[in-house]
Amino acid sequence: MKLPACRILAASLLSFSLFIGGCSNSKPAQSLSKSQAPEVSWQSDGSITPKEYSHQQVLGDLVVYSRLAGDHACFGLQAPTKGWIALGLGSEGKMKNADILIFTLRNGKVEGEDSFSSSPSGPHPADLSQGGTNDILELTGSEKDGVMTVEFKRKLRTGDPYDKDLHPGNNTIIWALGSNFKFASRHLQQGTGTLALE
Ligand code: HEM
């Protein structure tokens, strides 16, 4: 028996609206980027001040604040987590050959590690343990109302073979959030993004 055209149309509309409704709980796929001229000087004090950074980027639950300062890049990272926060520079697919800067707060004290993953799926031992150097400078951190904030800076070019160069303008990054303070633990969220340095 032939179905009338209007019943076919109604069934198609219903399946389409179920499809849309089913997707509405998923998180937006990245990323809101805001830029402004920074009007206050950068200070590593574990607190992000309005107009301290030139760029603000939302990546999942992570907000990345950035600004260029001569031959250094200044960073503020903020996420609602009790675990670790990480940025990866110069990845060649997943985590392969990524320069990983990873941070946590343990008993209220900030910890950071400049590390390097040679494989797409980790691990990422500290540069120091591989014969490189720790190039995270002026690291501070704080926690307020369940939100962790870290601030630090890094030279654009460190000269360490376990680091990747940064440059003014857009830099491709990877990022991830972990569930606890152990840097070797797996991520809960991860992705790729663009880091703007101006
Ligand atoms: C020791 C800690 C970590 C472990 C055990 C781990 C493990 C893994 C594994 C098993 C994969 C899947 C690889 C595959 O499909 O071949 C992966 C992918 C990935 N990881 Fe990690 N990871 C760790 C830390 C990190 C960190 C610190 C970052 C960010 C800086 C990161 C970013 C990523 C990204 C972007 C991907 C690709 C995901 C995708 O393809 O959708 N990981 N990781």
The predicted-structure confidence for 95-105, as pLDDT tens digits, reads as follows 999 999 999 99
With 70 as the cut, is the pLDDT of residue 18 above it?
Answer: no
**Residues flanking ligand 1, CB < 6 Å:** 86-88, 94-95, 100, 102, 120-124, 174-176, 184, 186-187, 190-192
Tell me what the pLDDT averaged over the chain comes to. 87
CB 175 within 8 A of CB 86: yes
Q: According to the model, what pLDDT value does residue 28 have? A: 39
Average pLDDT over residues 74-88: 98
Instruction: Compute the Cα dihedral for 119, 122, 128, 133 and give only its sign.
Output: positive
Atom of ligand 1 nearest to the CA of 98: 30
Residues 6+ apart with CB under 8 A from 4: none
**Rounded distance from Cα 192 to ligand 1 centre (Å):** 11
With 50 as the cut, is the pLDDT of residue 12 above it?
Answer: no
Q: What is the pTM of this model?
A: 0.86
**H or E element, residue 12:** helix 5-23
Q: Integer distance in angstroms from the first to the last C-alpha of the chain?
A: 67
Calpha distance 85→116 (Å, rounded): 15
Paired residues of 58 in beta bridges:
63
Q: Which domains does the chain have, with CATH numbers?
A: 29-197 (2.60.40.1210)
Q: According to the model, what pLDDT value does residue 21 have? A: 30
Q: According to the model, what pLDDT value does residue 35 have? A: 85
